[in-house]
Structure 1
């Protein structure tokens, strides 16, 4: 057995991709409504990203964080402007680990409140922050995490003590079933945190980089988090993560407190740098496509096997009464790539650059398939 059995892999080998179309080793074309689990936000093999990667690869791939790296400063500025300080890692889980560490160092407190049904990663602290028993199964969990009920402010209040460092939140629970935070809940949560000198830590690993229609989901809720994390679409498929914090918190992550050999190397920063430029040009026109997406998805509410359609921007969940894993498998056989999430939810994360005609054609095929169940 060459590989551990920790993944269930579909029997297909993809060998190339262009924007929202993937090709297997039999030259069959598939319509991608997954973005590689929310990674190809500006489309697979985006030519501008390819050009930036190629150009940087011909110069130098890796420089450790023992030396200056101006590309990191450029990307940091594009992510957080003048208000935030950045740390670069290799993944969303690593970024969340850094955020948890920073919250504790900056406040001198140890407890993090997160939420039931959340997902923050599979490294140890990120896993402990995740509010899902299935993720914790068979393993001892780190201390210092409490779990409130998502969208229930009273459940948060019951957990308050003098030892709360931060409240950690996804504004749309992605792996948990594509469940958006209610605006009034977020407003009350932010006020509660500010009144009690608790940091607000937003996990934007899946919701960031334009996925919800704005660069980051917190823009929909009209507040600025104390700390937020990014990954997945940040470099459009090249492994990178980022943790950003308000400048006043920066001294807490002092010399020697944290680090990464590969984090923010020139190759990934070159990709992230141009991906952010592409995204900035894309966002002003994205709302039209989002409107079309949700007009089409509204038709799914009438299907017998659909109990709910929810989400935000280009992030949609279709709750089903039939086994979602069978749906994902059957649609793959129909050359449509989709995802599952939460309790029997079909998850759609199409590239933001998917042609509208391709998006609608794919949704019509999914609707037809579900209507026959």
Structure 2
């Protein structure tokens, strides 16, 4: 009980500090409501795994961290790294899974809140949409909470994207921003290589297009080409299995392994026949549909899966409305940002189903891009339906 009292006090102080120091025009009740949902989601995630599944990554991570033994993760450096990160929290919590879960959920929430405040400050006309997409979409809240690698990976990715957007719009970052950006990049690099690559590509594409549009003469070409080349080449040094030459084999092997180890009802009808680019490309349309819209209302899932099915139905509707509005009104959106964001989202939407053709796994992994896809898809319908000027 003493551990609970101490940690609840500390978590409460940190929560209040986050509210005070991360300045925003967002109403205070949004902060406290979203924080409460995030903390509760982390506890519910643990309860589901302990009481219903009785096994899973979150339980394994906790047991390994509690026993200070990572031998079982000898060939899994990302898992080893995560366990080393959470071990101090596990120890000071008195080996409490639930207290550790609250700590990680709070870290994730503060990152999401900071990202929300940055985007709201840059785009105040869509404040409501931003708040909903980053703080209240059920699957995003749930799968970025609790004792999971996704929790810290999502937090790190959110911070990096917030700073990239801030630099894109204001051309300025403080020393503290840069240090936090380096820390977030370090964590994301060690936790989720493919997300780190996605962030590099997002930043590279965004800045390349921005400088191409803003500059004239020779610099109009040399600066964007240089940025683009650096971002693309740098992705080849992130992980040996994610180089251009190795990607087909990596996706083929992952696809085959996941299919063989998945229950029939959880398998996605997405089979990579061999380790060639031709085999991968042939599956891209199907993979893209799966990555964007499944599970759909026609999929058989557990009762909790209806949350994801309803979300995807809403998402499909918003995407359709956005395309119609874009074509009908002949709008001029922020093309560099839209192209950069959609390029990376669609890349993830294709690659993740190809590498993990399992419905349950896909739901967890989609969390990385869902809030951003929802945001892009919601802006035009929201502004049109609220009679705001659409531009």
> Would you call these one fold, judging by a TM-score over 0.5?
no
Give the TM-score of the pair, scaled to structure 2.
0.27
In terms of fraction of residues, the more helix-rich structure is 2
In terms of fraction of residues, the more strand-rich structure is 1
Give the TM-score of the pair, scaled to structure 1.
0.28
